[in-house]
């Protein structure tokens, strides 16, 4: 279901400074200060602000959710679907390593580009057992594709799954002349994900979430990208001022511009001007019921709420408006009843997750594998144990 509208995406929500102010203490990503200072990172955050806070109202009811068993599709592919989103299909473990990056637009006294060294943490992927996936996700996964075309680019949402705090969407992006809307690479996958190319005129995103776009480099071609987006739910992060809770759908907001994004952003224009928008649509993407979560508590009352796809740490247990935030996170481990462990994060060493962001009282993390919540013995954060 599509809804056409006109709203200025470069209006009050566009500036990087305003976005940073809104998200102070809310969305603090776990990467080095040097990396966060890079132009590409700033561009990514700005793009997300433009899309996620457009506030387009959906007047009509969403289309009926189709939840025919996803395992018919998954089984036909030999388990490939889930193994690509939450497993190791098309992914390789990444050892911790250093890379020298160029800071675009900055030069030293001799006119040489400014460079800095970044440490990329270790990332581990594991194979996804299809039987476990079926047990964890039955009835919680949409499988009816929803497709829309904006300009000469077609986006097809294949699957959506969510819980109270996270959303995972698998979709493809197609363009006969070659997909040019994203800047993507192995390095982007290891870091903050694909982001929009400023030298083209298409932009789109899901209004209900903010996160990371992982491009399947093994399966993708020049004319078709396979993308998996791991998002924190905006309503959970920002509240009702900037977002609405998810009911029976999420919204894909697409715009085709009259010029490249870079050229439009250079122009002086009045507040509320939408003349640069050539075509715009909002597409309703039905969602299934959210995944159930379990709660784990520490001895001092702090809580972890966890589902198979994500978890949220509240350092205050909901008793205080402000507690420890993501800057205090040193290590996070999930220990199963059989003694095996999933090391989600260890500062400067390991980052085995799909996406992570800070909240006022802790953090939300989207996993890069499905977590069997029925078999968790404990969760350990900074040497503090959380028990069911």
Residue-range definition of the domain harbouring residue 350:
294-386
- Tell me which of 32 and 381 has the higher pLDDT: 381
DSSP characters over 151-176: TTEEEEEEEEEE-SSEEEEEEEEE-T
Same domain, 282 and 306: no
Tell me which of 286, 314, 338 is where a domain ends: 286
Q: Distance between CA 86 and CA 369 in Å, rounded? A: 4
Residue linked to tokens 């819980």:
163
Would 368 be classed as within a structural domain? Answer: yes
Of 261, 286, 311, the residue at which a domain comes to its end is 286
pLDDT average, residue stretch 56-68 = 34
The answer to whether residues 171 and 258 belong to one domain is yes
pLDDT of residue 42: 32
Same structural domain for residues 30 and 171?
A: yes
Same domain, 146 and 222: yes
269-328: per-residue pLDDT in tens?
677 788 899 999 999 999 999 999 999 999 999 999 999 999 999 998 767 666 677 888
Confidence of residue 65 (pLDDT cuts 50, 70, 90): very low
Phi, psi for residue 234 in degrees, rounded to 5: -65, -35
Q: Report the percent of the chain where pLDDT is more than 90.
A: 60
Query: And the tokens for 229?
Result: 């987006």
For residue 117, tell me if it sits in a domain: no
- Domain end position, chosen among 267, 286, 305: 286
- For residue 340, with 0-12 CB atoms within 10 Å meaning exposed, 13-18 middle and 19 or more buried, which class applies? exposed
**Residue tagged 């220990």 (tokens):** 335
248 & 229 share domain = yes
Taking each continuous run of H as one helix and of E as one strand, the counts in the chain are 9, 23
| Model pLDDT, residue 309 | 98
338 and 282 co-located in one domain: no
Same domain, 355 and 245: no
Q: How does 153-187 read in b/e, with b if 16+ C-beta sit within 10 Å?
A: bbbebbbbbbbbbbbbbbbbbbbeeebbbbbbeee
pTM for the structure as a whole = 0.81
In a domain, 124, yes or no: no
**Residue 104 covered by a domain:** no
Q: Are residues 246 and 377 in the same domain?
A: no
Q: Which two tokens stand for residue 294?
A: 């379990």
Q: Over the range 350-379, which residues count as b (16 or more CB within 10 Å of their CB) and which as e?
A: bbbbbbbbbbbbbbbbbbbbbbbbeebeeb
149 & 266 share domain: yes
Instruction: Quickly tell me which residue has 């599509």 as its tokens.
Output: 2
Over the stretch 184-225, which tens digit does the pLDDT of each residue have? 999 999 999 999 999 999 999 999 999 999 999 999 999 999
- Same domain, yes or no: 187 and 266: yes
| Percentage of the residues of the chain whose pLDDT score is greater than 70 | 78
The answer to whether the beta carbons of residues 103 and 118 sit under 8 Å apart is: no
CA nearest to 156, candidates 168, 165, 148: 148
Residues 352 and 242 in one domain: no
Domain count, the chain: 2
Average pLDDT estimate for 8-34? 37
């Amino acid at each position: 279901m599509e809804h056409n509208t006109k709203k200025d995406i470069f209006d009050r929500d566009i500036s990087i400074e305003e976005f940073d102010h809104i998200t102070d203490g809310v969305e603090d990503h776990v990467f080095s200060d040097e990396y966060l200072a890079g132009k590409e990172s700033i561009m990514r955050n700005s793009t997300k602000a433009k899309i996620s806070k457009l506030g387009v109202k959906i007047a009509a009811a969403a289309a009926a959710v189709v939840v025919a068993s996803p395992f018919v599709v998954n089984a036909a592919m030999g388990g490939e679907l889930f193994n690509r989103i939450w497993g190791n299909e098309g992914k390789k473990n990444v050892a911790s390593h250093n890379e020298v990056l160029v800071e675009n637009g900055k030069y030293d006294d001799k006119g040489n580009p400014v460079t800095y060294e970044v440490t990329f943490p270790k990332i581990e992927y594991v194979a996804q057992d299809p039987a476990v996936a079926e047990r964890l996700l039955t009835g919680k996964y949409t499988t009816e594709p929803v497709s829309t075309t904006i300009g000469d680019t077609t986006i097809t949402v294949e699957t959506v799954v969510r819980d109270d705090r996270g959303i995972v969407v698998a979709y493809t992006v197609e363009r006969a002349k070659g997909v040019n809307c994203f800047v993507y690479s192995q390095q982007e996958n290891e870091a903050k994900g694909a982001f929009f190319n400023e030298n083209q005129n298409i932009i789109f995103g899901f209004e209900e979430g903010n996160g990371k776009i992982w491009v399947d480099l093994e399966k993708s071609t020049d004319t078709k990208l396979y993308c998996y987006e791991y998002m924190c739910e905006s309503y959970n992060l920002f509240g009702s001022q900037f977002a609405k809770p998810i009911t029976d759908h999420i919204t894909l907001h697409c715009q085709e511009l009259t010029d490249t994004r870079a050229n439009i952003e250079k122009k002086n224009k009045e507040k509320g001007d939408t003349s640069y928008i050539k075509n715009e649509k909002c597409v309703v993407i039905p969602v299934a019921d959210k995944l159930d979560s379990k709660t784990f508590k520490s001895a001092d009352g702090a809580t972890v709420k966890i589902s198979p796809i994500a978890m949220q740490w509240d350092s205050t247990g909901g008793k205080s408006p402000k507690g420890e935030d993501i800057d205090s996170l040193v290590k996070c481990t999930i220990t199963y009843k059989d003694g095996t462990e999933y090391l989600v994060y260890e500062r400067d060493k390991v980052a085995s997750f799909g996406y992570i962001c800070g909240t006022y009282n802790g953090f939300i993390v989207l996993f890069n594998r499905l977590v069997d919540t029925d078999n968790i013995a404990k969760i350990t954060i900074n040497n503090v144990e959380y028990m069911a």
